[in-house]
């Protein structure tokens, strides 16, 4: 009976699409396995590499047959069969082979950059989910506090120990807490859907509410060195520059003569004749200005590479400074919050009449806003370091 129930449950729609992931690493592993976009990119890379290998073979041979007939004294039939193969100057094939290899490497780096970006998007979505869950706990605490006060002061109002002004103030606080909690829930749902999209539409349960252990920041120069040597976007641009450099040599090779060799056989009225055909084609017009165009493209790709390196260094420096500032601010605010009066002390002061309801909510709002600010700082720090350490993905 239990087995029958289990089989019926398994047959329900959606069964088997729910995957529990407890850590960010597990989520990223699942994304790499199930991402439709990453699978499409892998197929595209394969197609591009195959395409890069085409075009470096001999042109198709030409086979022709010519039939002629005569009249009068030349009455009769005659024909000629020809088989001709054309080929470029030998150095052109060597340059094409090198370009094909460079293109294959460039496509691989572009695929690696795409993969890294998908994984970074997934990691940042996980960090946002952790933040929203922590904020949800804080907002639930704020709402529970307002509801408790509303219940107490309603009883006081009925007993004549409170006024309607205090009740209105508490109700406004409760409404604000409910609204904030609802909006936070909407944002959390959106992030979970975004994470699901990254896993190919698969429903995924990422339940973590705690950030992974913090990684110490290395020096900025160490991070820059890692990116300049290993960043797939830069490596792809370097390959593109090498391709354009090699294209200069290729176009010079194509400016050299092309050759034709072949076989001819003549079927004349007086017998047969056969022999070899040798020809040469001098490219006087066809490749005009191609070398100049290749040099211009090479100059552009070199400038693009240098510009990308400068932009990357600027981005890393900004992220590094942002991470350091957020880390300091978080430590300072955490220390201040540990010294502030907590919610329980404020409630006791309110009950003892040491502060009125206005003073209480003023202090409570400062306390909750400070704790919310700390959550935001911690999230922003994690997002900044995730981008700094994306080379580890």
Domains and CATH numbers, the chain: 25-392 (1.20.1600.10)
Q: Provide, for the chain, the percentages of residues in helix, strand and coil under a 3-state DSSP scheme, each rounded to the nearest 5.
A: 70, 10, 20
pLDDT in the model for residue 374:
94
pLDDT in the model for residue 88:
75
CA 298 to the chain's CA centroid? 27
- Residue with structure tokens 């999230």? 379
> Could you list the mean pLDDT of each consecutive 10-residue stretch along the chain, which spans 393 residues?
40 44 86 90 91 76 74 62 76 83 92 94 94 94 84 71 76 89 94 88 84 88 90 93 88 77 72 73 71 88 92 94 94 84 73 74 82 94 94 87
pLDDT in the model for residue 271:
62
Question: Which residues 6+ apart lie within 8 Å of 362 measured at CB?
Answer: none
The closest alpha carbon to 283, from 261, 257, 259, 260, belongs to: 257
pLDDT in the model for residue 269:
54
CA 29/CA 334 separation, integer angstroms? 33
pLDDT in the model for residue 16:
40
CA 55/CA 71 separation, integer angstroms? 47
pTM of the model: 0.81
The closest alpha carbon to 289, from 254, 243, 239, 244, belongs to: 254
Question: Which residues 6+ apart lie within 8 Å of 173 measured at CB?
Answer: 146, 149, 361, 364
pLDDT in the model for residue 166:
75
Q: Which residues of 226-263 are buried (b: 16+ CB within 10 A; e: fewer)?
A: bbeeebbbbbbbbbbbbbbbbbbbbbbbbbeebeeebe
pLDDT in the model for residue 158:
67
CA 327/CA 122 separation, integer angstroms? 23
The closest alpha carbon to 290, from 242, 251, 256, belongs to: 251
pLDDT in the model for residue 307:
93
pLDDT in the model for residue 280:
74
Contact between 265 and 80 under an 8 Å Cβ cutoff? The reply is: yes
């Amino acid at each position: 009976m239990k087995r029958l129930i289990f089989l019926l449950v398994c047959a329900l729609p959606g069964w088997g699409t729910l995957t529990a992931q407890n850590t960010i690493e597990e989520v990223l592993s699942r994304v790499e396995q199930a991402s439709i976009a990453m699978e499409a990119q892998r197929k595209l890379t394969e197609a591009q590499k195959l395409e890069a290998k085409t075009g470096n073979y001999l042109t198709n041979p030409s086979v022709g047959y010519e039939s002629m007939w005569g009249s009068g004294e030349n009455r009769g039939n005659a024909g000629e069969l020809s088989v001709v193969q054309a080929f470029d100057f030998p150095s052109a094939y060597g340059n094409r082979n090198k370009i094909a290899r460079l293109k294959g490497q460039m496509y691989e780096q572009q695929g690696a950059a795409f993969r890294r970006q998908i994984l970074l998007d997934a990691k940042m979505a996980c960090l946002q989910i952790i933040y929203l869950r922590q904020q949800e706990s804080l907002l639930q605490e704020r709402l529970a506090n307002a509801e408790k006060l509303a219940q107490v002061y309603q009883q006081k109002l009925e007993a004549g120990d409170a006024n309607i002004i205090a009740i209105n103030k508490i109700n406004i606080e409760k409404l604000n807490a409910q609204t904030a909690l609802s909006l936070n829930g909407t944002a959390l749902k959106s992030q979970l859907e975004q994470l699901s999209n990254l896993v190919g539409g698969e429903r995924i349960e990422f339940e973590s509410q705690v950030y992974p252990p913090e990684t110490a920041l290395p020096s900025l120069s160490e991070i820059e060195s890692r990116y300049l040597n290993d960043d797939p976007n830069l490596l792809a641009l370097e390959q593109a520059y090498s391709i354009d450099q090699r294209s200069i040599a290729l176009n010079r090779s194509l400016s050299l003569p092309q050759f034709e060799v072949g076989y001819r056989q003549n079927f004349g009225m007086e017998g047969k004749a056969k022999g070899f055909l040798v020809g040469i084609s001098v490219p006087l017009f066809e490749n005009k200005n191609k070398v100049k165009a290749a040099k211009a493209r090479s100059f552009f790709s070199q400038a693009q590479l240098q510009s990308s390196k400068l932009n990357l260094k600027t981005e890393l420096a900004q992220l590094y400074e942002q991470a350091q500032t957020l880390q300091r601010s978080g430590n300072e605010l955490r220390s201040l919050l540990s010294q502030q009066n907590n919610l329980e002390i404020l409630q006791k002061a309110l009950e003892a009449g040491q502060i009125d309801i206005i003073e209480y909510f003023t202090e409570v709002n400062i306390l909750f806003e400070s704790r919310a600010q700390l959550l935001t700082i911690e999230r922003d720090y994690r997002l900044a370091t995730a981008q700094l350490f994306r080379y580890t993905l």
